[in-house]
Structure formats: C-alpha cells, structure tokens
Amino acid sequence: MEDISLHILDVAENGIKAGADLVKITVEENTQTDRLVVTIEDNGRGMDADFLARVLDPFVTTRTTRKVGLGLSLFQQSAQEAGGDLTIASTPGVGTTVTAFMSYRHIDRKPMGNMVETMLTLIEGNPDCDFVYTHISNDKRYVLDTREIRCELEEIPMNHPEVTGLIRDNLVSGLQGFSAE
C-alpha cells in the first residue's frame, strides 16, 4: 500500500464484509506528542479468540474465512516500520476494533494519502453502511457522520451522485489544512 488512506480503506472493507452496518474511522495526528493513531471500529460479527490470535499472521490466515487476508498484516508492517504497531480487539457478535499507531515524524511513516477518496469509495460502494469519520489534527477536528445525512435523505440512496458530490465538497473543505505534508 502506498499510503495510510489505502490501508484504512482496506481494513474498513474487512469490517463491512464481516456484516457491519456502522464503521467508525478515527485519525488522530498530534505533532506535539509525535503520534499518529488510526482506529477503525466496526460492528460486524467479530472474531473469536482463537482466530484473533492468528489474524495478523499472513501465512496462517485462511482465505476461506473471508474476514481478513493480507491486509491487516500489511498495515501492521507499515506501522512497525514507523516506530509503532497495530493491535486488534474483537468480540464475537459485537465487532472489531483495529488500532494502528505510528511516530508522526518517523522517516519511514507513510504519507496520510487521500482520505477524501477513501471515504467516498467506502460510502459509494457500501451505501447501506454508515460511517463516522473523525479526523483530529492537533487542535483541529473534523467529523463526517453519514447517519445525519441518511436521516435527511430518507429513501434516496446515499450513493446518489449529487449526494456523494455534497459529501465530497464537505470532506474537501472540512479537511483543509489537515495533514501538513
């Protein structure tokens, strides 16, 4: 993966494949503490302790489970290369939370990438799933909550081109000045 936004897209898709209808994505950039934390929380079917113990091993993970493949181990590798790590907490029937942290200024930290495209791809490709995207950059904060939009739209699909257009505008203007890279 070229950047962190692609890892986020990948892990969020895992959650949706696991039956989630709500995925919460949080990105916290803190240049003072030199930390970048990414959290992806889904309310999908979750994993039992046995599977959870093996889930980060790319050679043990079985494709037939369809819960995860190489994606999580790639994200973990990216985090470890940037002085951090990736952890997973999961409860069957409740959901899964993936947390990756990195040293913000680490020379090998991948760039944030394009979170606008990641969010639009998730929303467009999964119109029945809701997303809460929170991006915190030092003292700035942006939140996109598709539940608020869905509430107004009623039966109009979330992936209607005009709706995704509004969401794109909202993301672009809301994220202005974030991720100074």
Partner 1 sequence: MAKISIDDLKKIKERERSKMVLRDGEFRVKITVHMGTCGIAAGARDVMSVFRDLIAAKGTHDVILTNSGCAGLCSKEPMATVELSDQPPVKYVLLDREKAARIFEEHVMGGKAVEDYALARGSETTASG
**Which chain residues interact with partner 1 by CB under 8 A?**
1, 6, 9-10, 13, 17, 66, 69-71, 74, 114, 117-118, 120-121, 124-127, 142-145, 148-149, 152-154, 156, 159-167, 170, 173-174
Task: Supply the DSSP symbol for 111.
Answer: P
Question: What type of residue is 149?
Answer: I
7: three-class secondary structure by DSSP = helix
The first and second tokens of residue 46, run together, are 């979750």
Q: Compare residues 7 and 109 and give the one whose CB is closer to partner 1.
A: 7
Closest to partner 1 by CB, 89 vs 145, is 145
Residue 51 or 103 with smaller CB distance to partner 1 = 51
Strands 22-30 and 130-137: parallel
- DSSP classification of residue 65: G
SS (H, E, C) 30-64: ECCCCEEEEEEEECCCCCCHHHHHHCCCCCCCCHH
Q: Based on CB atoms, which residue is closest to partner 1, 32 or 173?
A: 173
Strands (E), the chain: 22-30, 35-42, 85-91, 95-103, 130-137, 140-145
| Closest CB to partner 1 among residues 18, 104 | 18
Integer Cα distance of 26 and 40 in angstroms: 7
From CA 101, how far away is CA 181, in angstroms rounded? 18
